[in-house]
Amino acid sequence: MSYLNIDAQAQNTYDAIVIGSGISGGWAAKELTGKGLRTLVLERGRDVRHVTDYPTTNKQPWEFEHRNQLKQEVREANPIISKCYAFYEGTEQFFVKDAEHPYVQDKPFDWIRGYQVGGKSLMWARQTQRWSDFDFEGPARDGFAVDWPIRYADIAPWYSYVERFAGITGNKDGLATLPDGEFLPPHEWNCVEKHFQQKVAAKYKDRHVIMGRAAHLTQPQPIHFQQGRAQCQHRTICERGCPFGGYFSSNSSTIPWAAKTGKMTLRPHSVVHSIIYDEKKGRATGVRIIDANTKQMQEFYARIIFLNAAALNSNLVLLNSTSHRFPNGLGNDSGVLGKYAAFHNYRAGISGEYDGNLDSTTDGRRPNSPYIPRFRNVLKQETNFLRGYASGFSAGRMSRSDQSGVGADLKENLLNPKLGGWYVGSHMMGETIPKESNYLALDPSLKDPFGIPQLKISIAYDDNDDKMVKDYQEQLTEMFTEAGFKNIRVRDSHAAPGLDIHEMGGVRMGKDPKTSMLNKWNQLHAVKNVFVTDGACMTSTSTQNPSLTYMALTARAADYAVKAMKKGLV
């Protein structure tokens, strides 16, 4: 019998294990297999294959039973996920339903999840901005979190590395606050967006309106054709899955690339229970999973482990990985595991109207829009709140279709809508401050359908967030007024945290093992062969959409891990 156990363990042993197949997990799989490591990728959800498993991607509105709207019973059964802008009849298959994967809201939190191969990389908003040293140095300057162990120079070459492979559209803007990248041609402006850009530039020296930077192939390069991807068709139904691979996702890019090496084993339906720690060896030796179909526990083994389950689930896995050496969670000598969680504040917005440029309108669609980088508290502390916010901006022509008539008359009315003036709008993307009071923990009694403790989320806004919302509304109102916009209206949704879908922290990087979980290589201070490179690793959030930074950190950490493994350091 012992021989059978030895054989089974050998069959379940790999060079590396990657937990999760989303944006960061896909990159870990690509990099580790590309460097020759036999890699097991564990995904808790079902398999989703590029093109073949996008069932609604080519459907027209009239082909949906409910005209692409959610049934009332679906909304009532899913009060959390129904709040997400991307959840509708054409995307239901990619989102976690509320009752199927419960969690505990110690404070209101809308946790938006996608459990399948590719994770949320199938439905993400695709906005990709680099961080600058202003972002990495923020905690050291303001003292609201521990100092980052890296700076822009450490990650800049890795930003370039992942940008070239993923395909990022943008313009070379020359801004110190938002470093330029390896860009494909930018998307086009419309005339009112250009008008706003010019008015802001004339009035303010420290405020800029630029075209957004996004993971879309506006002009594919040879590396993208090698991935089997093609030019973005500007269909703007990306969250259904793109059969052209026009935007970056794990499914169209990194996972197939890893599979081509012959080194990847992809195992869906594998709910990770915990990471196995060997106290005699002083290292992690593998991963326990629960098969989602059989509910049976299995173990897999490897020399290095990359934890990329998405921020909150990565915290859950480490919290549930207990041993005599780590009674409070794997690597948690500092006691900060699960603490200092943060997110982005998307509560506020502003809208208005513009009576100019009535001789012009827009044509076609665009999966991107202009962007206003952070301009508050950059060089010095100048407001009554810490840090700052970025903003989206867009403009479009208002129109109304006359639906009277029948036959040719109705067709003519629909094809020639009556045009009104222009609408303009912006939404806020504010940085929240990591606080010890914002934490994640395991519920002591409630279990999920797999017998794993449910995650308890205790995250809330604070006075700093409220002050930031007020400032955003005041400053954008001033900018809109300067541009000649009218009927300006501000809003604060007071939505619970979570709908930004940018959860971060809990397993933060830092220089000191006493106050952080990870070192500068995203490596657990106390368990050198475990790396965390998804949102859980973030020390602070800044204002940028975070996915590009996760990709760069993952590629950088994988490069280090393989070199260290060859030297016997992990």
Mean pLDDT for the chain overall: 96
224 and 201 in a common domain = no
235 and 200 in a common domain = no
Instruction: Examine the pLDDT at 439 and tell me if it is beyond 90.
Output: yes
293 and 426 in a common domain = no
The whole-number average pLDDT for the span 12-16 is 97
282 and 138 in a common domain = yes
Q: What is d(CA 327, CA 321) in angstroms, rounded to the nearest whole number?
A: 8
Question: Six-digit token pair at 423?
Answer: 């609408």
Domain with 556 in it: what CATH number?
3.50.50.60
233 and 103 in a common domain = yes
154 and 89 in a common domain = yes
pLDDT at 5: 62
Q: Which helix (H) or strand (E) holds 549?
A: helix 547-566
Structure confidence by residue, pLDDT tens digits, 113-123: 999 999 999 99
pLDDT band (50, 70, 90) for residue 406: confident
The whole-number average pLDDT for the span 322-333 is 98
Query: Which residues 6+ apart lie within 8 Å of 430 measured at CB?
Result: 344, 345, 346, 347, 348, 387, 388, 389, 465, 468, 469, 472, 543
164 and 18 in a common domain = yes
Q: What is d(CA 448, CA 99) in angstroms, rounded to the nearest whole number?
A: 10
533 and 386 in a common domain = no
pLDDT band (50, 70, 90) for residue 12: very high
Phi, psi of 133 (to 5 degrees): -65, -25
The conformational region for residue 493 under phi > 0 = left, psi -120 to 50 = alpha, else beta, is alpha
Number of folded domains in the chain? 2
374 and 503 in a common domain = no
pLDDT at 3: 53
pLDDT at 411: 83
Structure confidence by residue, pLDDT tens digits, 499-516: 999 999 999 999 999 999
E-strand stretches of 308-388: 344-345, 348-354, 370-372
Instruction: Examine the pLDDT at 405 and tell me if it is beyond 90.
Output: no
Q: Which helix (H) or strand (E) holds 276?
A: strand 270-278
Instruction: Examine the pLDDT at 414 and tell me if it is beyond 80.
Output: no
Instruction: Examine the pLDDT at 308 and tell me if it is beyond 80.
Output: yes
Phi, psi of 408 (to 5 degrees): -65, -35
Instruction: Examine the pLDDT at 428 and tell me if it is beyond 90.
Output: yes
The conformational region for residue 368 under phi > 0 = left, psi -120 to 50 = alpha, else beta, is beta
The whole-number average pLDDT for the span 331-335 is 98
pLDDT at 415: 79
Structure confidence by residue, pLDDT tens digits, 16-62: 999 999 999 999 999 999 999 999 999 999 999 999 999 999 999 89
The whole-number average pLDDT for the span 266-281 is 98
Range of the domain at 366: 179-211+344-431+461-496
The whole-number average pLDDT for the span 407-422 is 83
CB atoms within 10 A of CB 107: 14
Structure confidence by residue, pLDDT tens digits, 446-483: 999 999 999 999 999 999 999 999 999 999 999 999 99
Residue where the block lists tokens 């949102």: 535
The whole-number average pLDDT for the span 418-435 is 95
Nearest to 32 by CA among 278, 313, 257: 257
470 and 358 in a common domain = yes
Domain end (from 496, 516, 545): 496
Instruction: Examine the pLDDT at 4 and tell me if it is beyond 60.
Output: no
- 317 to each of 43, 220, 289, how far by Cα in Å? 13, 38, 11
pLDDT band (50, 70, 90) for residue 9: confident
Instruction: Examine the pLDDT at 8 and tell me if it is beyond 70.
Output: no
pLDDT at 403: 74
Question: Six-digit token pair at 550?
Answer: 């996760």
368 and 252 in a common domain = no
Structure confidence by residue, pLDDT tens digits, 348-370: 999 999 999 999 999 899 999 99
509 and 492 in a common domain = no
CB atoms within 10 A of CB 549: 26
Percent of the chain with pLDDT over 90: 93
